[in-house]
Amino acid sequence: MRAAWLLSINAWSGRKGRTALLVAAVALSATLVAAVACAMASLNTGVEYRMAQRIGAADLRVRHVFNEHFDRHIADKLTANPRVEAVTVRVRGAINVKAAGESTATQFRAVLPENEELFRPEIVKDGQPIAQDGEILFDEKTAEKFGIEVGDTITLLDYKGAEHDFILVAVTENLTLEFLDTPQGAMTLNDLERMTGMAGRAKELQVILQDEVDVAAFAEDFSEGLEGDLIAEPTTRVTAGYDAMMQGNTVMFLLASVFAFISASFIVLTGMTVNSAERQRELAILRCIGGNRFQLAMSQIVAGSTLGAAGAIFGIPAGILLAWVLTIVAPDRLPAGLHLWPMGLALAFIGSVVAGVLGSGYSAYNASRAKPVPAMRSQASSMSVRSVAVVSAAAVALIAVQIVIVGFSQDPDTLIKWYTPLGMPSMFVGYFLLGVPVSVAVAWVASGVISRLFGLPPNALRRSFAGTPFRNGFTAGALMVGLALMTSVWTNGSSLIRDWIDTIKFPDAFANSVLSPLTPEMRARVDNLPEVESTTAITLFKTKTQAFGVELFGNKPGTSFIAFEPDEFFEMTELKWAAGDPEKAIPKLEAGGAILVAKEFLVYREGYGIGDMFPIEYRGRTLEFEIVGAVSSPGLDIVNRYFDIGEEYAEQSVHAVFGTRADLRKHFGTDRIDLLQISLAPSLAELSDAQATKAIRGAINSPGVVVGS
């Protein structure tokens, strides 16, 4: 090996310029991979942190069907499960706060200081999160209402009327809607139980599962063993597709890394081939003075591997630096700062070395076959038609491997399993090799025209290509890689926006009537605002039904007929269809006599499915509507969890049906408007939330209407 090291050092030191360029080629590939790895880690960490702050980081939740309190002994069963990483308890209670001579009912939520940071990190504006009993936090509005600052002591009254002093340790952002003016706070679970007397109860259990656990399958299995009306279900974080998006990002990164390093391998191959061709006489002399085939071959392998390692040494720090610059330039996009991804950085180093070894493989093969006498000749060799034909056949075969994998994969998991390690590299190498016959063909077809255009000798360009078909073909392949990477980034980024971000779509603003219905004149004034692109009206109409039980003491179980305008609603809100076919369901809705239900409805209202008729009683008549779909909305789920109005939302999900306003007018004789969903004009992207809501509020001009963005 010592001889191989000396030969490789001699080769690179004799051509410092070319060595530097080849190291730079590998270093740029390593820079790309390291920068993407660190940027993705920083982006994913930032998104995950923001998502955890806004809607929580739990994968699973256990709750009562109708959001009632339940005995939390199930938490012990979850904690003992090896597939569970952490469990926390969610429960609320009303506690009177004594301030300014008054006693004010305040909603407190319980936190477990030991793991609260895992589930929902507090968005603290002042102070520190709760660490022990005797500490509380308020949101900004509540702290201002009570005139209290961080570090002050405030008195709370327990359920028996006894006074207890607590220290305010933090003030957080306001996370409640404008019209929900109830003071909000948090304290430890022990303190909440002591102050409210609700020991051992829970409103919801939140669970973080191990990374490899299928959340939906775990929820289904665990639900089977739950008693009464308890259910286990994936959280909004899962149903909104966040985890799938993160997995997709990882796959995209791996594909981009393979692209980069295969490209680097061919660049190294081109440089090493040129180097070995120029060193034919040197290799011949080495053979004459006793150098064996193994030493010559290993000299090329060692040269390639050291070249790759040198590229990694320079490239990886440069990639980390680029990612760090991104966190400085775009702190709003990367709020968690710089985060390193060890696996990505390891891949950058290993990929660089492997690229150098693979790139030197062909040169090592040629060096091991070098014969002294032929190698001493100084004449050029003509293109081998046979070698070009072999490369062309290999290119077609490799491309065919990718086509077969894509064509015969029956599901996405199988496709990813075979496409990433085999199909995509085969396709990529195949197209790279295809550069050789394509460049030769282009040279034969276009060399005459190009020669005349630039005043070159008639056959100079053609002979130049004929003498170095592989060098030119691989150079063309290197240019192809740049275009391929740009195209891949663009298409994958576009698909991410289209397939995930765009599905989290909901209206820009809402106008809600809390005293009296909105009028058509109010809606018309809002529609005429330059800030508003369109509106859609929603009506919540209370009705009766026999579908949910038996009449007791003259009271029939109720339901809510939520009426909407299909065209405008579907334009503003992206729905996920849990059951039913939207291409068939939407025309039935527009034709009348059809309804949608929430996905929870079909789970908890046994006996009803798609195509069944649902009865609604109104003024002595029984109206029947066909259930044509079960839906959910990731966007509205996120809004619901962000504002923490889960109880009302779940209640409506189980009891409500969704029909058209045309059916509302036809069957129930009303056209009132309870809620306006509003889409703001895209041309006014710089418009602030405050400006938009002020304009809408002014157009409606009614004290009983609340506007929120």
Per-residue pLDDT, 640:
46
Residue tagged 């504006």 (tokens): 125
Q: At residue 451, does pLDDT exceed 70?
A: yes
Q: At residue 410, does pLDDT exceed 80?
A: no
Long-range contacts for 312-315 (Cβ within 8 Å, ≥24 apart)?
312/26, 312/27, 312/30, 312/348, 312/349, 312/352, 312/353, 314/23, 314/24, 314/27, 314/30, 315/26, 315/27, 315/28, 315/29, 315/30, 315/31, 315/34, 315/348, 315/352
Phi, psi at 431, each rounded to 5°:
-70, -35
Q: At residue 559, does pLDDT exceed 80?
A: no
Mean confidence (pLDDT) of the chain: 78
Per-residue pLDDT, 8:
61
Of 69-73, 562-566, 604-608, the least confident? 604-608
Per-residue pLDDT, 703:
66
Going by C-alpha positions, the residue among 348, 385, 401 that lies closest to residue 466 is 385
Alpha-carbon gap, residue 661 to 677, rounded angstroms: 14
Alpha-carbon gap, residue 233 to 39, rounded angstroms: 32
* Greatest mean pLDDT among 135-149, 266-280, 598-612: 135-149
Strands (E), 91-235: 92-99, 102-111, 124-127, 135-139, 153-157, 163-172, 184-188, 201-202, 204-209, 230-234
Per-residue pLDDT, 352:
77
481-526 per-position pLDDT tens digit: 667 766 766 666 565 555 555 555 677 888 876 667 788 888 999 9
Alpha-carbon gap, residue 197 to 182, rounded angstroms: 21
Q: At residue 86, does pLDDT exceed 90?
A: yes
* Greatest mean pLDDT among 109-113, 433-437, 494-498: 109-113
Helix (H, G, I), strand (E, B) or coil at 627: strand
- Pairing, β 163-172 against β 153-157: antiparallel
**Whether the Cβ atoms of residue 253 and residue 36 lie closer than 8 Å to each other:** yes
Per-residue pLDDT, 13:
65
Buried b (16+ CB within 10 A) or exposed e, 159-193: eeeeeeebebbbbbeeebbeeeeebbbbbbbebbb
Alpha-carbon gap, residue 612 to 624, rounded angstroms: 10
Q: At residue 155, does pLDDT exceed 90?
A: yes
Per-residue pLDDT, 183:
85
Phi, psi at 521, each rounded to 5°:
-65, -40
More confident residue, 322 or 256: 322
DSSP label at 131? -
Mean pLDDT over 124-148 rounds to 91
Per-residue pLDDT, 556:
45
Q: At residue 162, does pLDDT exceed 90?
A: yes
**Model confidence at 312, in pLDDT bands (50, 70, 90)?**
confident
Q: At residue 376, does pLDDT exceed 70?
A: no
Per-residue pLDDT, 111:
92
Of 10-19, 300-309, 532-541, the least confident? 10-19
Q: At residue 207, does pLDDT exceed 60?
A: yes
Q: At residue 286, does pLDDT exceed 90?
A: no
Per-residue pLDDT, 649:
42
Q: At residue 321, does pLDDT exceed 80?
A: yes
Per-residue pLDDT, 344:
77
601-638 per-position pLDDT tens digit: 666 566 778 888 988 887 778 888 999 988 876 545 54
Integer CA distances (angstroms), 563 to 157, 236, 541, 588, 658, in order: 44, 25, 8, 15, 6
